[in-house]
Amino acid sequence: MPESQPRGPELDKRKAYILTTIVYEYIATAEPVGSATLTQKYNLGVSSATIRNEMAELEARGYLVQPHTSAGRIPSDTGYRTYVDRLMPAESLASEESDRLRTEFARAGRAIDEIVEQATRLLSQYSQNLAVVVAPSKDSQVFRHLQLIWLADRSVLMVVVTTAGVAEQHVIEPVVDVDPDELTRASNALNRRLSGTLLVQLDRGTVVDALATTEPPLHASLIDGIIAGFAHARRPEERRILFGGAQHLLDQPEFRDFKKLRSILDLVEEQRTLYNVVLDSIERGESTPSVRIGGELELEDMSECSLVAIPYRMGDRSLGVLAILGARRMPYGRMMALIAATADHLSQHLTDVELP
Amino acid sequence: MPESQPRGPELDKRKAYILTTIVYEYIATAEPVGSATLTQKYNLGVSSATIRNEMAELEARGYLVQPHTSAGRIPSDTGYRTYVDRLMPAESLASEESDRLRTEFARAGRAIDEIVEQATRLLSQYSQNLAVVVAPSKDSQVFRHLQLIWLADRSVLMVVVTTAGVAEQHVIEPVVDVDPDELTRASNALNRRLSGTLLVQLDRGTVVDALATTEPPLHASLIDGIIAGFAHARRPEERRILFGGAQHLLDQPEFRDFKKLRSILDLVEEQRTLYNVVLDSIERGESTPSVRIGGELELEDMSECSLVAIPYRMGDRSLGVLAILGARRMPYGRMMALIAATADHLSQHLTDVELP
DNA sequence: CGCTAGCAGTCTGGGAAAGTGAGTGCCAAG
DNA sequence: CTTGGCACTCACTTTCCCAGACTGCTAGCG
């Protein structure tokens, strides 16, 4: 006897259409949607009283909530979730907009940092929301070349270049004098044996092996320095997070409230929490945008926000994540299309600038 | 007949004391200061009526303003200016706080970017205001070492290392095949002749001269590539500006107003305007903090803000600027002491990590 | 001549009261 | 199942009023 069906099995066609319309209208207007508005603006073929009955049932099943007794309805997390997963028409970016994105990426130059900064700027600008970008960590990059440069008798500069075109430098201070020829031999040996290896794999054993045949053998303190240099170049613990477009938040009526604004800005400043959430969002490694709605973020004071995230790549290695953080009432279709296109262009551009 | 003295010649002792007290009190409470408050909280030895007369005169002379007829007074730009320049007691940072600053700088590592990011974080945290930091431009750095690395027959990676320990890379694609030996000879020649030169001085002529004696002569397209590489490493046009602690603005009652908040966040996003103002502030190259109060900033909607700025150095070269942007009602003494100490520690740390 | 006490006048900010209107739920009839 | 009608609810806005803070002015005092 299915008299009260909590979270019913399926929504019939009319209920689905009503939910779709309510989400759409609320996203557009930021005002709770009433039955009269629906019958006036959308062609439903039934009266507002009928809509009221349907809305009451959608609320009972958890898709809608009423801010207060005499207001219209707004979608709940479940309502948005259903909309995003099953009701929303798929959108894709207008081709001229996509072209503009590509053009603007091309203006960023070859340096990885620059490209990622440009991505942040573009994403916030086009989305009119807060853009959050996790920059590449070094450890997924491929070692290309190393140079040991003689600075003084007990001071050596080690420069590591990856195929991403990023150079990291590190000063080594061995406990014995070294001479330039010795450094050249070491550089050559390491380059011959290790070029093409992922940075993350360049641990102590690998380096010691690569230098085993060097004659005369290098002093242990120099080898230690080289190993430390690789460890430094790798630095997996340190991933920059970039932000852009915080001012757009002020345009949303839901953030006309200093407490909510403060929560978000604190999150931006703190970085770690947001970093975890963003990484969680794309853990599955899928290449479609992942969406987290309101309470799904599991963050205090963030029930009014949603996050759309997607990974980006260089070649076939996943490097980092793009994300849009905005009001829960966001145009999900457009945001997903936009972030997917941005990630595509970014991945493409990064792959293009990779060194041979 | 000096009957009405606009912006009178000097403030007598009592007026100066009253002005000082009003600025002090207003900074502490954010409430317009009335005559009764003054007599109660501060030992003035005269009645509130006398204070009222004095305040009326201070207002007539432009040091104070009244938000409305029945309110107390708040300082005008001129009032703050007088306070900062002549009335305020000089403050210096408590030595334990200064020590803490130094310790935290030490945790930043050797990379210039990292150190400057740390400075931004510390400055915003200690000042509880928005920190604005202009990062070093490349062109004031000293060329230390160059390496031309063979990637493929027509592809060469050029790595430039400065004494700041920053490496920049650039891909050169000459129109003829090159071989590794040729590259080594070119690298050696350039290093021998040019090491120690400012990057900004490495123009076409200098490079061509340095390579003039190379035998056999390098192909023109390779030389062009090297010149382009230096130009790229230099990139004077591109100076990063870092921000930190925007959320602290929300703590100030003067920014409980979305328009003002929006103005500031827009400024942060736009960067260029703020960059100019900050550079203006320290154009004189002095090493004491420069202060700009309210309207002196000459920025629309920024009349409620003040900016405290100071340059920082590496060795004896000025590299960039630290600044604090906050409410006009800020504790100037502390902010100036703090930013001076931060700049000192930053300059010291940068000088320490410079390569030999 | 400067200082003070007292007083009338002015303005803001907050809170109560009342009116407005959007929107609902329910019912009885089609 | 749908619909028109109706009573009811509740947030929001406007209006009004009052308390409080502070001033400027004046007259008197040392």
Q: Is the pLDDT of residue B237 over 70?
A: no
Quick one: what percent of chain B has pLDDT higher than 70?
96
**Closest residue in A to B144 (Cα–Cα):** A151
Nucleotides of strand C lying closer than 7 angstroms to a protein CB: 3-6, 9-12, 21-27
Cα B350 versus chain centre, distance: 15
Q: What is the pLDDT of residue A236?
A: 65
Q: What is the pLDDT of residue B27?
A: 96
Rounded distance, CA B182 to CA B188, Å?
A: 10
Average pLDDT of chain B is: 89
Residues of chain A with C-beta less than 8 angstroms from the C-beta of B110? 171
Least confident of A79-93, B117-131, B236-250: B236-250
Which secondary structure element, helix H or strand E, spans residue B61, and what is its range?
A: none
Cβ pair B277, B267 in contact under 8 A: no
Greatest mean pLDDT range, A38-42, B19-23, B169-173: B19-23
Cβ pair A324, A131 in contact under 8 A: yes
Residue B48 CA and nucleotide C7 C1' are separated, in Å, by: 15
Residues of chain A with C-beta less than 8 angstroms from the C-beta of B157? 144-145, 161, 165, 355
A246 and B258 within 8 Å at the Cβ level: the answer is no
B250 and A262 within 8 Å at the Cβ level: the answer is yes
Residue A34 CA and nucleotide C23 C1' are separated, in Å, by: 6
Q: Is the pLDDT of residue B82 over 50?
A: yes
User: Other CB atoms closer than 10 Å to residue B283's CB: what's the count?
Assistant: 9
Which secondary structure element, helix H or strand E, spans residue A322, and what is its range?
A: strand A317-327
Which nucleotide minimizes the distance between its C1' and the CA of A60? C25
Walking along chain A (356 residues) 10 residues at a time, the average pLDDT comes out as 48 92 96 94 89 95 93 96 96 95 90 91 97 88 88 88 80 90 90 90 91 86 93 78 93 87 90 89 79 94 94 89 96 98 95 82
Measure the CA angle with vertex B130, ends B26 and B279; round to 5°. 105
Three-state SS at A148: strand
Q: Which residues fall within 8 angstroms of residue B35, CB to CB, at 6 or more apart?
A: B48, B49, B51, B52, B55, B72
Q: What is the pLDDT of residue B246?
A: 93
Q: Which residues fall within 8 angstroms of residue B58, CB to CB, at 6 or more apart?
A: B15, B18, B19, B64, B73, B79
Helix boundaries (H) for B173-256: 180-194, 204-211, 220-234
B169 and A166 within 8 Å at the Cβ level: the answer is yes
Q: What is the pLDDT of residue A1?
A: 36
Q: Which residues fall within 8 angstroms of residue A276, CB to CB, at 6 or more apart?
A: none
Nearest to B342 by CA among B53, B44, B119: B119
**Distance from the A146 Cα atom to the nearest Cα atom in chain B, whole angstroms:** 9
pLDDT band at B171 (very low <50, low <70, confident <90, very high): confident
Q: What is the pLDDT of residue B152?
A: 83
Rounded distance, CA B116 to CA A291, Å?
A: 35
Three-state SS at B113: helix
**B198 secondary structure, DSSP code:** B
pLDDT tens column, A274-284? 999 998 877 76
Q: Is the pLDDT of residue B295 over 80?
A: yes
Q: What is the pLDDT of residue B3?
A: 36
B269: nearest CB among A145, A245, A256: A245
* Distances, alpha carbon A99 to alpha carbons A29, A322, B33, in Å: 30, 19, 58
Least confident of B92-96, B121-125, B217-221: B217-221
pLDDT tens column, B186-204? 999 999 999 999 888 898 9
Residue B159 CA and nucleotide D26 C1' are separated, in Å, by: 83
> Which amino acid, one-letter code, is at A350?
L
Rounded distance, CA B157 to CA B147, Å?
A: 8
Residues of chain B with C-beta less than 8 angstroms from the C-beta of A258? 250, 256
Using the CB atom, is residue A288 less than 7 Å from strand D?
A: no
> Which amino acid, one-letter code, is at B67?
P
Residues of chain B with C-beta less than 8 angstroms from the C-beta of A147? 147, 149, 159
Peptide bond before residue B136 is cis, with ω within 30 degrees of 0: no
| Mean pLDDT computed over B5-14 | 67
Cβ pair B346, B322 in contact under 8 A: yes
Three-state SS at A254: helix
- How much is the CA Rg of chain A, to the nearest whole Å? 27
**What domains lie within chain A, and their CATH numbers?**
13-87 (1.10.10.10), 95-136+239-353 (3.30.450.40), 139-234 (3.30.390.10)
A161: nearest CB among B149, B165, B246: B149
Which CB contacts under 8 angstroms, 24+ apart, belong to A269-275? Answer: A269/B244, A269/B245, A269/B246, A269/B247, A271/A241, A273/A299, A274/A132, A274/A241, A274/A325, A275/A134, A275/A239, A275/A241
